[in-house]
Structure 1
């Protein structure tokens, strides 16, 4: 891992408390403390803080090439901050604790609905050759399970990621509803907290009989992290999810926002390696065909989708 972009894998309870305190005070860093009269930063004018969702255990090393790339094109030191949970990342974005954020689509909508001053600029084209940003939410069961489809999840213990997860909760709710399952009375939900843990619990088949996680975790991250083997799981259904956005804080200086938008919105693995930055297999797999430009309106279909699921309490206000 490069030391040029220091990785801080932290947004612990202390960090969350600080974020909430800043939220109560009404904002992020003071302009005077950043040395900038035209914008503010989460930490200081020499540093960009990159916030990340709490997914696979090796997420920080997976994302390191992108962090190094952002550092190179902006001339700022980049600190990658992996949050302990989705709520922490939402609160940090509201409080101005992050400058560049890798959200799930649903987490982005929740943050915007709660007042986060952020703008999406690009989303990852995970499925190579499609030209469209997106990835799959997968319905999974232990490899030896008799369950053949989502309808078989009825009356089972079902693992989800978090109520703020797009592919680990929102889309699974839709898949279950489409299968005729009442998610309030006909399943026992288990919140795993992250995609890799959800897959791990399903693979073991004790805490969860079935569950949901993003496809890249099921097919790549778990085995790489040593939590489970790919052949421990069976995918019985999947649904394409709008691409997770990379968003930037509106409070940043205008020239820096322009640079970030230009460099992040269409960045590819080739752009990163051409800049002299080493990639890694996990990043190459995750980053697919790179980013495609998106804006807030790109997520309007997901907002409509959420309105069709009034029983999902975390959709309230979106």
Structure 2
């Protein structure tokens, strides 16, 4: 009996030693910010794809040069795809729009570091535009019409305009003839301009993004309504991003936004002119506005 006990004890010890040796032989993951484990900077597709891709590459390059980290830009297919990437470890930094950021923060602790500034303000407005020949003059006129949205997670291109419609007595899911998500703000403008949709929602004034190619865009489309002010988008990090690396990247981003190349890249992508440091509390008033309108970020994040 004693011999059997010694045998099994010896076997268990041997297994433990072997397991430890095997575990110690497993290669450790490469440090974050190196070629084998780059920092993934996810960009939302709110503008024209070629411009966003070019801007993502430029911003990543400039940040890499400033910090010494390997940073790769990546343009996602949708706002929701960026939220998913940030919550599953496939991305580390992002340029999430306001509502998408709130979702990501609620879902997995994504945290705001910088907020963009356009036209001297960290806030912006959304607008609902319509074809000038559609007869649409006010929100109530959208009943029975075809409406284009940006993306279901877009603040000015979906969330807020739907709240505005409901306040005007128009149920988007019952009263509209057709709803289409086109994926970008300029895409909404072009859909309305070309008559593919009678009306659409975008930021103020996304029509400027297509005016070079379609100089009569403000003659063929009209602004039906504008939203209250909305906090701007910005730069965010995943919850467990190393604090020292985050600080270094934030400082580098502020510096590149002082350069012509940096401003041009982020301006071309999203119209960013500069950035300011803000924490998550910057969005609290907007959260309260959503809650008062019956939109629960907490419920949507489940």
Compare CA radii of gyration and give the structure with the larger one.
2
Which stretch of the first structure deviates more once superposed, 95-104 or 134-143?
134-143
- Write the mapping of 1:59-208 to structure 2, written as runs, cut at 5 A: 59-115=52-108, 117-128=109-120, 132-188=121-177, 189-206=179-196, 208=197
Structure with a larger share of its residues in helix: 2
Quickly say closer, same or farther: Cα 1:305–1:34, change in 2 above 3 A: farther
* Aligned partners of 1:307 and 1:315 also within 8 Å: no
Q: Match for residue 53 of structure 1? A: 44
Query: Does the Cα contact within 8 Å between 1:48 and 1:77 map onto a contact in 2?
Result: yes
Residue 236 (1) aligns with residue 227 (2): no
Aligned to 1:272: 259
Displacement after TM superposition at 1:163 (Å): 1.4
Tell me if structure 2 keeps the 8 A contact 1:42–1:97.
no
Q: Is the 8 A contact 1:42 1:99 kept in 2?
A: no
* CA RMSD between the two structures: 3.1
Could you tell me the TM-score, scaled by structure 2's length? Answer: 0.78
Cα separation, 2, equivalents of 1:214 and 1:31 = 48
Identify the residue that residue 281 of structure 2 maps to in structure 1: 297
Deviation of 1:237 (Å): 2.1
What residue is the counterpart of 1:17 in the other structure? none
Cα 1:177–1:42 change in 2 (3 A) is farther
Gaps of 5+ in 1: 1-29
Conserved? CA contact 1:120–1:295, under 8 Å: yes
- Separation in 2 of the partners of 1:303 and 1:278? 31
